[in-house]
């Protein structure tokens, strides 16, 4: 009995010790926040005086000289014939590109689209030595007794703030009186669009997140929601990791696994045979378990751009910066393949099945007129060049999170995997259709999901 009692006592002590260690680790991970410091990304040394916090109105503009230069370069392009029966499997099909460029040169009215871009108020403000461009769209009408919900939305590559133009009015002027009304801020990531490019090495997603926190504070927002896809997913995720008390909720439509753990490994090994054990849907099984060879081949087919941009962006970028036709081919090929991989087998890449040529060329013109293709590509080198095991990849997100799961996204992430990173996953919505550029392709679906997520979070806070 004495031995038995001693054994039991030892086991209890061990159990308490293990339990205490687990509790310590859980609490430690919950309190762990991403750390960063102020930077200086302007040219030269920072000035001795304080930071200029002025907010200046900005308008997109064009000129006869800008258009004449564009047309001259288009006219001097040297066509290259595509291989027979190649569609978009070798890249942008030349016959289709000729039609797009002909429309761009002869029918696309850039001045009219400049007016469309200026439909919403644009501003610039200097943060850490560089001018940050952003839209700030306030609702025209807010129901009595309520307040507008502040929301920052961050784009990715090769997109821009223009991706959100179909989504903004659905959030700031919803047709359903039961819907929340949002006040929207859409910044351009530094080096993209009309935001100044960093002049120094090292500007990664955490630096962008830090700057966008400063931007929101400068605009007077003490707390706000955030939404992002592509790079916007990582920037807004970093915002939630940097200051989780300020980001009320995080909504994303892209969430590739950042740090594979035991649950993910087990689900990969056993998920095909025991899908219910891991909560896998039919779509999960279909997207995750083709033969391994097919997964590898598909990855190689669609990731070449990433290897270039993560290593030597300035080399290929210089050619794209000089050639509008090359730039259009490079950017628009992504709007084909990343919207649906099946579009590779179409002569026209399916470009106008989901988007209008006017919208696609407006996005291209933002890159062309701002000359931002090289710095936008450098963002890959700054993020991947530091290795995959960065501090933010190890830190879970404890901000309430919503995930919109679009079926044609580049990387499929089942709910189980999302929850490994986002520990307070409030909503997970399998979407009926849509691909990588979801905000631009399916603004109505995206608006509905942002509404549902935000309402759910607000309700939980009240309870």
Q: Where are the domains of the chain?
A: 1-31, 55-462
State residue 281's pLDDT score: 82
- Report the alpha-carbon distance of residue 197 to residue 104 in Å, rounded: 27
Catalytic residue ranges: 230, 380, 436
Spatial separation of the C-alpha atoms in residues 210 and 80, rounded to whole Å: 44
Pairing between strand 55-58 and 122-127? antiparallel
Task: Determine the Cα–Cα distance for residues 50 and 450; give it in Å rounded to an integer.
Answer: 38
pLDDT at residue 20, rounded to an integer: 45
Rounded average pLDDT per 10-residue block, the chain, 463 residues = 45 43 45 86 88 94 98 97 96 97 98 98 98 97 93 98 98 95 98 98 98 98 98 98 98 86 74 78 78 68 93 97 98 97 96 98 98 98 87 94 96 90 97 97 98 96 81
Lookup: tokens for 203: 């500007």
Dihedral of the CA atoms 300, 304, 309, 313 (nearest 10)? 150
- At residue 225, the pLDDT reads 98
Beta partners for 250? 226, 401
Count of CB atoms within 10 A of residue 238's CB?
A: 27
pLDDT at 462: 81
Q: What are phi and psi of 192, to 5 degrees?
A: -120, 145
Kindly give the pairing relationship between strand 130-137 and strand 122-127. Answer: antiparallel
pLDDT at position 176 is 94
pLDDT at 79: 93
CB-based contacts of 144, cutoff 8 Å, min separation 6: none
Tokens describing residue 49? 């005086």
Q: Which residues contact 65 (CB under 8 A, 6 or more apart)?
A: none
Those residues whose C-beta lies under 8 Å from the C-beta of residue 67, and which sit 6 or more positions away, are 110
- Residue 75: cis peptide before it, omega within 30 degrees of 0: no
State the Cα–Cα distance between residues 78 and 55, nearest whole angstrom: 44
**Could you tell me the pTM of the whole model?**
0.90
Which residue in this structure is represented by tokens 């926040």? Answer: 33
d(CA 96, CA 346): 10
In the prediction, which pLDDT does 31 show?
A: 53
Class at the top of the CATH hierarchy for domain 55-462? alpha beta
């Amino acid at each position: 009995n004495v031995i038995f009692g001693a054994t039991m006592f030892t086991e209890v002590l061990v159990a308490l010790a293990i339990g205490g260690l687990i509790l310590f680790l859980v609490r430690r991970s919950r309190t762990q926040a991403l750390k960063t410091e102020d930077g200086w990304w302007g040219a030269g040394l920072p000035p001795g005086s304080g930071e200029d916090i002025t907010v200046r109105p900005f308008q997109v503009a064009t000129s006869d000289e800008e258009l004449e230069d564009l047309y001259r370069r288009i006219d001097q392009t040297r066509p290259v014939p595509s291989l027979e029966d190649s569609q978009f499997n070798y890249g942008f099909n030349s016959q289709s590109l000729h039609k797009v460029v002909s429309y761009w040169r002869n029918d696309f009215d850039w001045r009219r689209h400049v007016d469309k871009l200026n439909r919403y108020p644009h501003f610039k403000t200097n943060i850490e030595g560089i001018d940050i461009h952003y839209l700030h769209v306030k609702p025209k009408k807010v129901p009595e007794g309520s307040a507008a919900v502040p929301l920052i939305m961050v784009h990715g590559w090769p997109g821009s703030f223009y991706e959100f133009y179909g989504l903004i009015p659905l959030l700031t002027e919803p047709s359903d009186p039961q819907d929340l009304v949002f006040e929207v801020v859409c910044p351009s990531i530094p080096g993209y669009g009309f935001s100044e490019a960093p002049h120094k090495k090292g500007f990664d997603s955490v630096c962008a997140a830090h700057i966008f926190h400063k931007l929101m504070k400068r605009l007077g927002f003490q707390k706000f929601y955030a939404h992002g896809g592509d790079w916007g997913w990582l920037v807004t995720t970093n915002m939630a990791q940097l200051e989780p008390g300020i980001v009320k909720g995080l909504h994303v439509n892209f969430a590739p696994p950042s740090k594979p753990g035991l649950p993910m490994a087990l689900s990969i090994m056993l998920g095909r045979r025991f899908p219910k054990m891991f909560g896998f849907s039919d779509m999960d099984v279909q997207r995750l378990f083709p033969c391994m060879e097919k997964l590898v081949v598909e990855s190689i087919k669609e990731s070449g751009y990433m290897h270039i941009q993560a290593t030597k962006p300035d080399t290929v970028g210089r050619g794209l910066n000089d050639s509008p036709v090359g730039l259009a081919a490079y950017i628009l090929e992504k709007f084909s393949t990343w919207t649906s991989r099946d579009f590779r087998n179409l002569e026209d890449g399916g470009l106008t099945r989901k988007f209008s040529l006017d919208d696609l060329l407006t996005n291209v013109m933002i890159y062309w007129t701002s000359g931002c293709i090289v710095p936008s590509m450098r963002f890959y080198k700054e993020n991947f060049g530091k290795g995959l095991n960065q501090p933010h990849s190890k830190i879970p997100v404890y901000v309430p999170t919503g995930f919109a799961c679009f079926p044609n996204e580049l990387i499929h992430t089942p709910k189980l995997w999302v929850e490994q990173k986002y520990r307070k996953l409030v909503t997970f919505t399998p979407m009926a259709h849509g691909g990588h550029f979801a905000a631009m392709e399916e603004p109505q679906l995206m608006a509905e999901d942002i509404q549902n997520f935000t309402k759910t979070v607000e309700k939980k806070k009240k309870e």
